[in-house]
């Protein structure tokens, strides 16, 4: 009897260990995500029209091309043109549908994305059900079931590399959100992180991973160095977002001060508020901490910190150091939440230092050939001269696309400094009646002391 009891205890212990180890369900291809990616592919959305995984997209085109004028596809085009339904707004609707394509909410209080309206979402779903039948979607998914299984199996190597227990150990508590990994052959080169919360349930968070590389046989490759940091990043949100939400008021003052200094860099990454910025900063610092704990060398860590600093998170090194201090004092701070008072003190210091740095940052003083936002620039001008309020180091240039993308970026020639490095001349070729936009950033525009330029967006239109 004792042996039986002991054996049962061991079995139960192993089951508990396995359940604890598998905090997240294995990745899978989700029919709902694929269905909506197909719909908006047919509607002409650029982001859903990639052909990286041609073996799959050819199957989509072969099966569905005859339905490009279906009532649903026409409506999807209108939604894109009038409401901007694209990118994450598409998959945000897909994950809130059940297996029968019924919404898990009536959309009165929970919309999948701010670009959707209740009426549009309901009309879209009604047409989606008709399309599912008319286009024989079930047949398509059934025929590709084995392909989807193979895709999931190929992503499994990334999933199995993750140390899921690190998260619970590091934060000292379980995630306050449910986390789901979806592999999508239809999302091409994009990854998305939609979420939703239904009444009296945990928030559901998704990491939807696109597919952008294939091997010689045309089957997808999911490289760990590309996908692993993304999943670690997204799963960290499941711990950090609720933590900062509980302490929002306490962080607000210093968060606002920092956002005032780096708001442009944040807005370019769609981080429109100080709270989103602080969530992202702590998530990114936690990603770096994960890699420190898993053997990353000093060069790799320095590269990660420099990358985040160039993204505008110039206090990231100090934040990583705070996480190190926390983890080295777990006898005093059993959870990251218990360390919040120390993080608040650190953020007071970050805000003061960043405000001081911001005051020292070089700024654009003027543009010689026209004023910024001019709508009648002579298209015959051959140069754009940027004047700064102080000398720069003169060791490089960083001129990037703005929010309008590559199509609005002027054709540039030679770039060189003049006026003791207080001005930069950019040779340009412009065409008439065209809107232009570019951004000068501090990645390479810096003072001799290494203080980066405050990002400056230039907009103009030629006659």
DSSP assignment of 358-402: HHHS--EEEESSS-TT-S-B-TT--EEEEEESS----S---EE--
For residues 279 and 244, is the Cβ–Cβ distance under 8 A?
yes
Tally the domains of the chain: 3
Q: What is the pLDDT of residues 233-263, one digit of tens each?
A: 999 998 999 999 999 999 999 999 999 999 8
285 and 377 assigned to the same domain: no
Residue showing tokens 């590389």: 213
301 and 379 assigned to the same domain: no
For residues 407 and 437, is the Cβ–Cβ distance under 8 A?
no
39 and 97 assigned to the same domain: yes
Q: Does some domain include residue 218?
A: no
57 and 187 assigned to the same domain: yes
Look up the pTM and report it: 0.77
138 and 56 assigned to the same domain: yes
42 and 87 assigned to the same domain: yes
CATH of the domain at 395: 2.60.40.1220
353 and 441 assigned to the same domain: no
Q: What are residue 309's phi and psi, to 5 degrees? A: -65, -40
Report the relative pairing of strands 203-209 and 177-183 from DSSP bridges: parallel
CA distances from 221 to 206, 230, 442 (A): 21, 16, 35
In the beta sheet, which residues pair with residue 214? 220
For a pLDDT cut of 90, what percent of the chain falls above it? 80
Q: What is the pLDDT of residues 55-84, one digit of tens each?
A: 999 999 999 999 999 999 999 999 999 999
The SS3 assignment for 287 reads helix
In whole angstroms, what is the distance from residue 17 CA to residue 6 CA?
Answer: 16
- Which pair of structure tokens corresponds to residue 119? 């009426």
160 and 59 assigned to the same domain: yes
Q: What is the pLDDT of residues 371-395, one digit of tens each?
A: 999 999 999 999 999 999 999 999 9
For residues 336 and 368, is the Cβ–Cβ distance under 8 A?
no
266 and 410 assigned to the same domain: no
Average pLDDT over residues 180-209: 92
Residue showing tokens 């604890």: 20
Q: Does some domain include residue 307?
A: yes
Q: Which domain holds residue 321?
A: 247-360
Residue showing tokens 């051959």: 382
Q: What is the spatial order of strands in the sheet that 203-209 belongs to? A: 177-183, 203-209, 195-196
What pLDDT is recorded for position 23? 60
Q: What are residue 383's phi and psi, to 5 degrees? A: -140, 155
Q: What is the pLDDT of residues 115-167, one digit of tens each?
A: 999 999 999 999 999 999 999 999 999 999 999 999 999 999 999 999 999 99
Q: Does some domain include residue 439?
A: yes
Average pLDDT over residues 291-298: 96
In whole angstroms, what is the distance from residue 363 CA to residue 451 CA?
Answer: 11
Q: Does some domain include residue 11?
A: no
Q: Does some domain include residue 409?
A: yes
What pLDDT is recorded for position 57? 97
372 and 429 assigned to the same domain: yes
């Amino acid at each position: 009897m004792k042996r039986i009891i002991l054996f049962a205890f061991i079995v139960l212990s192993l089951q508990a260990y396995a359940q604890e180890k598998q905090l997240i369900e294995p990745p899978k291809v989700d029919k709902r995500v694929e269905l909506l990616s197909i719909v908006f592919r047919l509607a002409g959305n650029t982001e859903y029209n990639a052909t990286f995984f041609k073996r799959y997209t050819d199957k989509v085109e072969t099966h569905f091309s005859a339905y490009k004028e279906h009532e649903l596809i026409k409506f999807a085009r209108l939604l894109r043109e009038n409401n901007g339904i694209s990118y994450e707004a598409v998959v945000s609707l897909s994950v809130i549908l059940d297996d029968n394509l019924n919404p898990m909410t009536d959309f009165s209080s929970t919309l999948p994305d701010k670009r959707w309206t209740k009426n549009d979402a309901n009309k879209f779903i009604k047409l989606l059900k008709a399309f599912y039948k008319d286009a024989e979607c079930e047949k398509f998914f059934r025929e590709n079931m084995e392909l989807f299984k193979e895709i999931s199996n190929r992503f499994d190597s990334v999933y199995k590399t993750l140390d899921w227990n690190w998260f619970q150990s590091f934060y000292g508590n379980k995630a306050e959100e449910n986390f789901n990994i979806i592999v999508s052959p239809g999302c091409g080169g994009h990854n998305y992180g939609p979420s939703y919360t239904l009444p009296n349930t945990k928030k559901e968070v998704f990491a939807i991973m696109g597919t952008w590389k294939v091997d010689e046989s045309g089957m997808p490759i999911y490289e760990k160095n590309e996908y692993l940091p993304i999943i670690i990043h997204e799963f960290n949100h499941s711990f950090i977002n609720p933590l900062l939400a509980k302490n929002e008021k306490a962080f607000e003052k210093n968060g606002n001060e920092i956002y005032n200094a780096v708001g442009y860099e944040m807005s370019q990454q769609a981080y429109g508020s100080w709270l989103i910025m602080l969530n992202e900063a702590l998530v990114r610092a936690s990603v770096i901490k994960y890699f420190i704990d898993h053997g990353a060398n000093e060069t790799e860590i320095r590269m990660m910190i420099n990358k985040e600093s160039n993204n505008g998170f110039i206090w990231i090194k100090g934040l990583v150091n705070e996480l190190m201090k926390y983890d080295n004092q777990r006898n005093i701070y059993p959870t990251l939440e218990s360390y919040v008072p120390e993080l608040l003190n650190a953020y007071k210091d970050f805000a003061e230092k960043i405000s001081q740095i911001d005051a020292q940052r070089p700024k654009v003083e003027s543009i010689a050939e026209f004023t910024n936002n001019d709508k009648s620039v002579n298209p015959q001008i051959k140069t754009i001269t940027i004047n700064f309020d102080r000398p720069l180091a003169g060791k490089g240039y960083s001129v990037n696309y703005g929010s309008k993308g590559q199509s609005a970026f002027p054709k540039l020639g030679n770039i060189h400094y003049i006026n003791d490095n207080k001005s930069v001349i950019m040779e340009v070729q412009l065409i008439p009646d065209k809107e232009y936009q570019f951004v000068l950033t501090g990645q390479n525009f810096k003072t001799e002391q290494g203080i980066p330029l405050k990002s400056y967006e230039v907009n103009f239109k030629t006659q």
